[in-house]
Amino acid sequence: MFSIFKSKKKKLQEKRDRLLKQAFQWSKIDRSKSDEFYTLADAIDKELSQTF
**What integer pLDDT is reported at residue 4 of this predicted model?**
67
**What integer pLDDT is reported at residue 18 of this predicted model?**
98
Q: Is the pLDDT of residue 1 over 90?
A: no
Residue 28 CA to chain centroid, in angstroms? 19
In angstroms, rounded to a whole number, what is the distance separating the alpha carbons of residues 32 and 27?
Answer: 8
* Three-state DSSP state, 30: coil
Contact 5, 48 (CB under 8 A): no
| Secondary structure tally for the chain: helices H, strands E | 2, 0
**What integer pLDDT is reported at residue 52 of this predicted model?**
74
- pLDDT tens across 2-40, in order? 676 678 899 999 999 999 999 999 999 999 999 999 999
**φ, ψ at 28 (rounded to 5°):** -85, -15
